[in-house]
Amino acid sequence: MAIMCCFQVNPNREMTVEEFKARLLQFETDHDGRVSHDELKEALQSLRVWFPWWKARQVMKVADTNHNGQIEGAKEIEKLVNYAQQQLHMKIHGSHDRW
Ligand SMILES: [Ca+2]
């Protein structure tokens, strides 16, 4: 896909919350503003996270607080970011307040 070439994030590099969110939105293919398990899996895969399917499942368990199968809204996304930082050891920083 053409859009992929313009937005490369080095997975070993530190990134901001905004960059992480942008990365997620890149894989948010149905453009409903929410991130499904499959979309999350694709995003994790692109960040070279091991076992992306399983990790995405773990993230959904933690972050999908209303259990609708989608990560949406500031609260759920904040949980997703926290999980990525703490469990996936991604170097994401920046304020969560802006979400
Ligand atoms: Ca949800």
CA of 71 to the centre of ligand 1 (A): 5
Q: Please give the pLDDT value at position 6.
A: 43
For the chain, the structural domain boundaries read 12-93
The set of long-range contacts for 12-19, using a CB threshold of 8 Å and a minimum separation of 24, is 13/91, 14/91, 14/92, 14/93, 15/90, 15/91, 15/92, 15/93, 16/92, 16/93, 16/94, 17/81, 17/92, 17/93, 17/94, 17/95, 17/96, 17/98, 17/99, 18/94, 18/98, 19/92
Each residue's pLDDT tens digit, 41-95:
999 999 889 999 999 999 999 999 999 999 999 999 999 999 999 999 888 987 5
Domain 12-93: give its CATH architecture. Orthogonal Bundle (1.10)
CA of 10 to the centre of ligand 1 (A): 28
CA of 4 to the centre of ligand 1 (A): 26
Each residue's pLDDT tens digit, 14-45:
889 999 988 898 998 888 889 999 999 999 99
- Residue 10 pLDDT grade (very low, low, confident, very high; cuts 50, 70, 90): low
